[in-house]
Amino acid sequence: MTVLDTRTLPAAVPFTARSQRTRHYLMCEPRHYEVTYAINPWMDMTVAVDNERALLQWEILRNTYLSLGHRVDVIDPMPGQPDMVFAANGGLVVGGHAYGASFRHTERAAEGLAYSSWLRGSGIDVTDPEHTNEGEGDFLALGAMILAGTGFRTSLEAHIEAANVLDRPVVSLELVDPRFYHLDTAIAVLDDGNGTAPADIAYYPGAFSRHSQRTLRDLFPDAIISSEADAQVLGLNAVSDGHHVVLPSAAVNLADTLRERGYTPVPVDLGEFLKSGGSVKCCTMEMHR
C-alpha cells in the first residue's frame, strides 16, 4: 500500500467568508472623453471613441456601485481635459486627508487642481504635492500599508512624501512593462484588511521588477496571480468592496478564480475606456477611511 506524504503537497489557500463594506467613491462623467494625445501604449489617436457608448458604459459602472449600496459622488468634468474621467488619478484620500496629484504629462496637469478643489469643497484636508504622483493610479491603500508604484508616472520622492502626509507605511514597487504604466493596472486590492479578513490582492508578476515580485510574494504569499491574458484586458483594474469585485468583463479567467476564492465577480464592459488604457479602477477614486 502506498502512503501519501501530505507534507509534499502545496498548502491549500484557506477559504475565507467574504464581507462587504460600504464604500464612498468619486467619479467624473466622460462628457469630454476622447483620445486626442498618446501618453501610454494603449492610446491611438487614429482610433475614435464612441462617445455615446462611453457614456453608457460609465453610467452602468456608476449604477453598479449604487446597486451594491455604495455612495457615489460626481465631479464636473472640465472642457479640454479628456482624461479627467479617470478619477482615480486625481489624488489619494485616506482617513479624511488627501494627498493631491501632480501629473507627469502636461496634458493632464489641470486635473490635479480640479480634484484638489473638489475635495477641499467637500471638507477634506488636502496637502498639495511637491513631487510627481498620479493619485490612486499609483497608490493603493490597504489597512496596514500603502502600495506605491513607480517607474513610469509617480516618483520615488512622492512615495516618501505620501508616507509623511498620510502617516502610513508605504511599500515601493517598480513597474517595468509600459503596458502597465500605473500600479492599478497591475494590482487589484480585493480586501484592504480593514474588516475581519486579512488583506488580499491579485497581481500580474510580469509587470514588476524581480525585486518587487519578491516583495509581493513575501507580503502576499496567498495572492491571486493573474495571467497575462487577463492583465492585458486590464482585468486587474478592478474595484472591490471586500465581497463584490467589479472588473472588466473580458477578464473571464480572473473572474473564475475570484469566485473560487469566495468573492463575487461583477463584470462590466468598459471597452471604450480601454482605448485610453483605463477601466473600472481608473474611473473610480475611493474615499478610504
Q: Which residues are catalytic?
A: 182, 282
The C-alpha cell of 11 is what? 498548502
State the CB neighbour count (10 A cutoff) for residue 85: 26
Query: Contact 13/222 with Cβ under 8 angstroms?
Result: yes
The C-alpha atoms of residue 37 and residue 127 are separated, in whole angstroms, by 29
Query: Contact 160/182 with Cβ under 8 angstroms?
Result: no
The C-alpha cell of 12 is what? 491549500
The C-alpha atoms of residue 151 and residue 96 are separated, in whole angstroms, by 28
Query: Contact 57/275 with Cβ under 8 angstroms?
Result: no
Q: Which residue has the cell 477641499?
A: 120
Instruction: Please give the backbone phi and psi of residue 172, each rounded to the nearest 5 degrees, phi first.
Output: -85, 135
The C-alpha cell of 68 is what? 451594491
